[in-house]
Chain A
Amino acid sequence: MKRGDIVFFIVCLLAVLVWGCGKNKLSVTLAGSTAFQPFAENLAEQYMKTHPDVTITVQGGGSAVGVQSAISGAAQIGMADLVILPDEAKALTTTIVARDGIALVVHPSNPVTNLTSQQVRDIFNGKIKNWKEAGGSDVPITVVSREAGSGTRSSFEQIMKDIHLTKDALIQDSNGTIRETVANDANAIGYLSHGLLNEKIKAIKIDGQECTIESIVAGKYILVRPIYLLVKGAPEGEIKNFIDYVLSSEGQQTIKAKGLIPVK
């Protein structure tokens, strides 16, 4: 390499470094609940339209990641959809921004439309292994669940009580992949956030109660959990601005429009 090439290379390197450090955009990172993640991304997009100098990034990972990231500082805001927050979260400032129902879902071709709470417990504990014992066809049940750190799973197990997940359950790592697994398997049953329901899967009733916004608000459908935004210390600056935006009427309208239950 000639001398000129080397000088050119060094100049390019310095230019890239300077350019990278130049734009000092304010950035806020959210991490945690995969149930709230699509909504957070939507709200972030809308927020960034009116505040172009702020960058908001949203990551998933599950509610436990949300709590850990908020504590460690890896994310400025942790998202968690737990019924009861773990002890580590006591030191964090918590803000409830929405309520979310957990829908029990099966494949659209499954004839079962209703299960009692005890049947749900028995299915997830592995006592009922065949759909015919629950009013369906004579096919084995494929139980699909989340990993242990999931807020959706913790909420589900805490509300239903007495659930010791069967060892035969398939484990998927987000609400989205649970939806895909149930949509592709006619014998599957799983649970996911009500806000992620679509026509590829069918929500079934629990004890005769449907998973709709009306029955959740009326308190009839039991699987409900709050969605927390967790911050270490008091929220300030851009963090506070974003949380205020989520709680504003515009933010809550977006949440409601996309299928979650607004907190106000």
Chain B
Amino acid sequence: MKLIGEKGVQRILSFTAFSALTALMLIALFIINEGLPFIFKYGIINFLSSSDWRPQSGMFGIFPMVMATLWVTFGAMVIGAPLGVAGAVFLSEFVPRPVMRIIKPIIELLAAIPSVVYGFIGVMVLAPFIRSYMGGAGLSVLAGSIILGIMILPTIISISIDSIMAVPQSYREGSLALGATTWQTTHMVTIRAAKSGIIASIILAIGRAIGETMAVIMVAGNSVKIPHSVLDSVRTLTANIALEMSYATGLHRQALFATGVVLFVVIIILNSIASLAIRKKIAKK
């Protein structure tokens, strides 16, 4: 007996799909509604370029935080991207398939570890290590970059492996038939063919790194100053919001929402670039 027919299932599925989209749109509208008036009132140039973040005196310059986010994210990319891509290449080209099928899920497990655990390890192990061997306070850009680099590894490795495995076997066979060695085939043919997928994975990972809050609050030090060395303590945009949102009122609160708008815009741009890159790859085939 049919309780709900095919039309019914269709309606239920469209409803759930629309609820997800609606929730997302409502969040975006809320953030923009709270943050945009502040940007118009305070001036976007002043907001982004002033180095004075003193909410009690009405000064809301987020330049040190923008710099901090840039430094920490760039550091995470420098650490995570080479390790991730190299790991993906190794796992898909130089390791027997059955072994790779066991290791890939284990790496994806890294993505399941809560970020507060990463932060905890950073505070207990990484920061003291940096302090003893490199100087500074330990809680620094470097600590943040290393922890974030490890956090984005599963994203990069997983998507890059999928991209590399999607390269048709005929490419590899053709290259080997022409006399190339395995390594020449890998770096001149396979990786080049999987390039847009690998780049998309890196861009998605950067998006994750920019948005990471908990781990960064625990290991980056949270000082409001422009970093001059990787051993300096910094406060990223996300950390700024998390530290102050609970007690901010009035203009201060709007400024934090405006920071959220800035982050939102950056991540939308990054994700659009990533999906363009993936679409280019599909169009090529």
Contact = CB atoms under 8 A, between A and B. Distances in A.
B49 interface: no
A6 B217 contact: no
Given A6-B3, A167-B224, A184-B128, A149 B137 contact: no
Contact of A142 (B128, B137, B225, B246): B137
A231 B38 CA distance: 32
A98 B2 CA distance: 67
Interface residues of B, number: 29
Contact of A171 (B3, B56, B127, B223): B223
Most buried by B among A3, A64, A171, A181: A171
A65 B137 CA distance: 29
Give the interface SS of chain A, mostly helix, strand, loop or mixed: mixed
Interface string A122-142: 000000000000000000001
A67 B4 CA distance: 52
Contact of A61 (B56, B124, B247): B247
A207 B123 CA distance: 33
Interface string A179-197: 0110011011000000000
30 contacts: A3-B2, A3-B3, A6-B3, A7-B3, A61-B246, A62-B247, A68-B249, A148-B55, A148-B244, A149-B244, A149-B248, A168-B223, A168-B225, A168-B233, A169-B223, A170-B222, A170-B223, A170-B233, A171-B221, A172-B222, A173-B217, A177-B218, A180-B123, A181-B139, A184-B123, A184-B124, A184-B128, A185-B137, A187-B137, A188-B137
A188 B244 CA distance: 23
Most buried by B among A3, A148, A187: A148
Interface in A156-215: 167-173, 177, 180-181, 184-185, 187-188
B102 to A, nearest CB: 34
Contact of A149 (B139, B224, B246): B246
Most buried by B among A7, A68, A181: A181
B1 interface: yes
Contacts of A142: 137
A171 B247 contact: no
B25 interface: no
Contacts, number: 67
B131 interface: yes
A41 B50 CA distance: 42
Contact of A65 (B2, B4, B56, B246): B246
Interface string A61-82: 1101101100000000000000
Contacts of A184: 123-124, 127-128, 138
Contacts of A170: 137, 139, 221-223, 233
A144 to B, nearest CB: 9
A65 B247 contact: yes
Interface string B142-170: 00000000000000000000000000000
Interface of B: 1-4, 55-56, 123-124, 127-128, 131, 137-139, 217-218, 221-225, 233, 235, 243-244, 246-249
A197 B49 CA distance: 41
Contacts of B124: 184
Nearest to B2: A3
Contacts of A62: 246-247
Contacts of B221: 170-171
Interface residues of A, number: 27
Most buried by A among B55, B218, B223, B246: B246
A170 B249 CA distance: 24
Contacts of A68: 246-247, 249
A6 B249 CA distance: 47
Given A3-B3, A171-B243, 12 more contacts: A7-B3, A61-B246, A147-B244, A167-B223, A167-B225, A170-B137, A171-B222, A180-B123, A184-B123, A184-B138, A185-B138, A187-B137
Contact of A3 (B1, B139, B225): B1
Contacts of B123: 180-181, 184
Most buried by A among B124, B221, B235: B221
A148 B248 CA distance: 10
Nearest to B221: A170
A187 B135 CA distance: 11
Contacts of B243: 147, 171, 173
Nearest to B64: A167
Interface string A1-36: 001001100000000000000000000000000000
